[in-house]
Amino acid sequence: MKKIFVFLVAVMILLSSVSLAEDLSSLSDDDLMELYLRVTEEMADRGMTAEETPETSGDTVLYYHPDGGQYYHADQNCLSVHEKYLPLSGKFLYSELENEAYRDLRPCNVCGAPARREDRLLTVNFSDAVDAAALVSVREETDYLAAVMEKDGKYIRVVTLPDDRTRQLYMDLMTADDPGEAYEAYHSYAWSLPVSYVEEITAQPKEQAELDALAGKTVGELEKEGYEIYGSGGGTGLPTTVDLTYGFFDYEFEADASFEEYRDLDDLGSLKLKNGKLSGFSPYASDLDYLADGTYEPEVVPNITAEEAEAADHAPPFEEYTRDAWPLTAEGYSDLLGNMEARYGQVYVVEGVVHQVLSPNPLRVVINTGEDGKSQPVVVRCPEQSGFSWETGSFCRVYADVSSACYILPVLTARYTFTAPDENNNEWGTGE
């Protein structure tokens, strides 16, 4: 049973069915076997065998105007470009999009230039984002859903922020008489929510050469170097393996021991290792308390005094409040992400499309502030008495100050707002 259990734990981590994993210790062998079969079935259903969604080929030719063009185009004679620049003289391949020279160009919607692969994840729901990846690890928490995956040699973290209903379903799951049914209700709803933001993981796994150099060391020695054991396995006629975690990644090592030697061991520390290889993401990679570079930094909430909180509830008059408001340009947005704490209290003009309603009362929404309506997400919360009401897809212009952070996303508190059915017809909203 041990081997199945070890496999099961690995699969649990892979699928991160948290609620099930917590109860494992109380289950009988028969229950475990049944779970094992269910999980195996689910893995098969989970698109591990499904076809990949069609991707843009790396050798697709794209066009741009080399002297100051901000967009890249699929059509060399794109209608959106002034005819004196046509046909566009700049040319490069889709696979070169991340090169220094083209990195800041945006896809043209007029001629339907293909989006960057990771940007495309911003327009799909969590479930589709997970299905599109071959190697993926998922975490479900009350505060977020996160999936880490490999895409074109990059490691990417995809995050969905749950709304009120998801949280309710999650809490129901914790106390349900029938956890299977409750999990299904939670799962199918939560995974249909849109992706809130995508970030690239900059922490890198160990190089194979580095792993090769560990041959001959014992498990105990590797533990001293910071590796953690998360599983082991073996069987008659099978190699003995030890699974170790280091940072965001898991590694499977083959041990220099027969099954009999392994079976009779009290602890794994003395096992000598032969060779190791990268085997997947560790649970830390999908834990948002770890930043993309692997450093541990639990969500930072600003330390606000009672006086400051009081003052914050009484926004200054419109003229005064908006006088020094900063626009959220691309530069302004990346400055804000990089200096969140230093920007607490700063007033911004937030313009964009409501991407997701997190809670109706008090109203909390994700607004995409990028020109393309898909990028630069921020969370905007509205004081309870504000009377603001926005729906998914509506355009709004808000004067708001930075008040906290929701993982990497800045949270701004709205004080004054314009709402409009479309960008060209701004009307006064409901004021403060």
Q: Closer to Zn ion at the Cβ: 87 or 431?
A: 87
- Cβ nearer to Zn ion, comparing 78 with 129: 78
| Kind of pairing between the strands at 197-201 and 154-160 | antiparallel
Give min distance, CB of 22 to Zn ion, in A: 52
Which pair of tokens denotes residue 36? Answer: 């094992």
Residues 350-379 touching Zn ion, rule: CB under 5 A, are: none
Residue 74 or residue 255: which is nearer to Zn ion going by CB? 74
Helix (H) or strand (E) holding 145: strand 145-151
Q: Which residues contact 184 (CB under 8 A, 6 or more apart)?
A: none
Q: What angle do CA 117, 118, 119 make, to 5 degrees?
A: 90
Shortest reach from residue 151's CB to Zn ion, in Å = 25
Instruction: Provide, rounded to whole angstroms, the least separation between the CB of residue 72 and Zn ion.
Output: 8
Minimum CB distance to Zn ion, residue 93 (Å): 17
Binding mask 277-316 for Zn ion (x = CB under 5 A): ----------------------------------------
**Considering only residues 8, 15, 97, 111, which one is a binding residue for Zn ion as defined by CB under 5 A?**
111
Binding window for Zn ion (CB under 5 A); candidates: 8-16, 73-81, 121-129, 151-159:
73-81
What is the rounded distance in angstroms from the CA atom of residue 211 to the CA atom of residue 163? 42
Q: Which of 411, 421, 365 is nearest to 388 (CA)?
A: 365
Least CB distance to Zn ion at residue 124 (A): 23
Q: Which stretch binds Zn ion (CB under 5 A): 71-79, 187-195, 315-323, 343-351?
A: 71-79
φ, ψ for residue 364, nearest 5 deg = -130, 125
- Could you tell me where the DSSP H helices lie in 227-317? 259-263, 306-313
Please identify, using beta-carbon distances, which residue of 80 and 202 lies nearer to Zn ion. 80
Residue 290 DSSP one-character state: B
Cα distance between residue 260 and residue 115, in whole Å: 54
Judged by CB under 5 A, does residue 73 bind Zn ion? yes
Q: Shortest approach of Zn ion to residue 81 CB, angstroms? A: 7
Smaller CB separation from Zn ion, 47 or 107? 107
SS3 244: strand
Asked whether the beta carbons of 278 and 246 are under 8 A apart, the reply is no
Q: 70 vs 192, which CB is nearer to Zn ion? A: 70
Q: How many residues in the shown chain lie near Zn ion by CB under 5 A?
A: 6
78 lies in the site for Zn ion, by CB under 5 A: yes
Q: Can you state the angle between helices 29-43 and 2-15, rounded to 10 degrees?
A: 40
Shortest distance (Å) from residue 74 CB to Zn ion: 7
Name residues whose C-beta falls within 8 Å of residue 114's C-beta, 6 or more positions apart in sequence.
56, 60, 62, 74, 94, 107
**Toward Zn ion, which CB reaches closer, 71 or 155?**
71
* Residue 288: other Cβ atoms inside 10 A: 20
In terms of Cα–Cα distance, which of 287, 291, 248 is closest to 140? 287
- 415 forms part of the interface with Zn ion (CB under 5 A): no
Closest contact distance (angstroms) between CB of 109 and Zn ion is 8
Alpha-carbon torsion, ordered 175, 176, 181, 186, to 10 deg: -30
Tokens of 139: 């975490």
CA 415 to chain centre: 29
Extended beta strands in 282-394, E state: 326-327, 347-360, 363-368, 377-381
- Binding string to Zn ion for residues 169 to 208, with x set by CB under 5 A, is what? ----------------------------------------
Of the listed pieces 69-77, 176-184, 371-379, 388-396, which binds Zn ion according to CB under 5 A?
A: 69-77
Look up tokens 């999650």; give the residue: 170
Binding mask of the shown chain, residues 91 to 110, with x at each position contacting Zn ion by CB under 5 A: -----------------x-x
Judged by beta carbon, residue 82 or residue 323, the one nearer Zn ion is 82
Under the binding rule (CB under 5 A), the answer on residue 20 touching Zn ion is no
Q: How far is the CB of 83 from Zn ion (least distance, A)?
A: 13
Hey, what are 132's tokens? 């599109």
Q: Which is nearer to Zn ion, 93 or 312 (CB)?
A: 93
Per-position x/- string for 211-230, each x denoting binding to Zn ion as judged by CB under 5 A, each - no binding = --------------------
Least distance from C-beta 135 to Zn ion, angstroms?
Answer: 34
Stretch that binds Zn ion, among 74-82, 116-124, 282-290, 349-357 (CB under 5 A): 74-82
- Closest approach, Cβ 68 to Zn ion, in A, equals 15
Pairing of strands 395-406, 347-360: antiparallel
Residue 418 CA to residue 184 CA, distance in Å, equals: 40
How would you classify the pairing of strands 106-107 and 145-151? unpaired
Contact residues toward Zn ion (CB under 5 A) are 73, 78, 80, 108, 110-111
